[in-house]
Structure 1
Amino acid sequence: MPHLTVQIREEALDGSVEPKLIRALTEAVAAVVGEWARPVAVVELLGVPEHRWGTGGIPGRAPAPVVTLTMREGGLTHPRIPDAPARLIGSLTEAVVTVFGEAVRGDVTVLIVGVPAGRSGVGGEVA
């Protein structure tokens, strides 16, 4: 199950952005790994007030959104999905740019975390 966590400036979340971003990120994952991912993709938006974020040691300099995609490692190395991590990074970056505009492209950070088999579970069962 793909799980996306987005750290974003709280001030960027205005009630209209959230559904657009959730849809765009879900679509971005499904476009790369397949339709199976769409109904099980989880998107979590974590708003961080600008004064609680800093860049280069300077408080208040909030970067563009940071997107972390966590999913089973096997989905990132499947032979039917060549170059999955690179394609996901590109697709997720495009999703963020679609919502926030071209100006954020150079600062969007995407992290891909592959969870080894047997190291995740749902409902108390190892997946």
Structure 2
Amino acid sequence: MPHVIVRAAEAQLVGREAELVAGLTDAVVDVYGEWVRDQAVVVLVAVPAGRWGIGGRIIDTPPPMVEFGINERALARDDATEILARLAAGITDCLARVLGEAHRPGVLVEFRAQHADRTALGGTLVSAR
């Protein structure tokens, strides 16, 4: 179950939530295929004004930060670099389109490997399913 967590300034997200959820889901589907649409999870975390700092200073319009949870096995594939590059590009394209092109250079996408033996869904380890 891929999950995308976006942290952005609250003012950037307000009124754009539905477009972001749909666009980020589409970016995941473009890489994995339509089968993943119902499993893709998108969480938007709105950071209030005055609570984001870079270089020791408060930033009012920081670039979005994204955490993408991906199955550890995907990283062992021969095409892992291509998969990650396509995901990063699709996520960045969506955020730039919805939040503004000025954010594109600063969008940070971090991939977090999920190990089946260390991930549970509904109280059961994923590896046991």
User: TM-score scaled to structure 1, two decimals?
Assistant: 0.89
Post-superposition Cα deviations, 1:9-37, rounded to whole Å, max 9, x if no partner, equal 0111222x000000111010111122222
Give yes or no for contact 1:26–1:38 (8 Å, CA) kept in 2.
Answer: yes
Q: Which deviates more, 95-104 or 19-28?
A: 95-104
Q: Quickly say closer, same or farther: Cα 1:106–1:80, change in 2 above 3 A.
A: closer
Post-superposition Cα deviations, 1:56-85, rounded to whole Å, max 9, x if no partner, equal 110234421111111211234445766211
- Aligned match of 1:25: 24
Give yes or no for contact 1:66–1:110 (8 Å, CA) kept in 2.
Answer: yes
- Runs of 4+ in structure 1 over 4 Å off: 79-82
Give yes or no for contact 2:12–2:61 (8 Å, CA) kept in 1.
Answer: no
Aligned residues: 126
Q: Distance in 2 between matches of 1:115 and 1:89?
A: 17
- Aligned match of 1:92: 91
- Aligned match of 1:120: 119
- Aligned match of 1:7: 7
Structure 1 spans left out of the alignment, 5+ residues? none
Q: Which has the higher helix share?
A: 2
Structure 2 spans left out of the alignment, 5+ residues? none
Q: Distance in 2 between matches of 1:73 and 1:44?
A: 20
Give yes or no for contact 1:68–1:112 (8 Å, CA) kept in 2.
Answer: yes
- Aligned match of 1:67: 66
User: TM-score scaled to structure 2, two decimals?
Assistant: 0.88
Structure 2 residue identity aligned to 1:12: Q
1:113 positional shift:
0.8
Give yes or no for contact 1:73–1:114 (8 Å, CA) kept in 2.
Answer: yes
Q: Quickly say closer, same or farther: Cα 1:81–1:60, change in 2 above 3 A.
A: closer
1:103 positional shift:
1.4
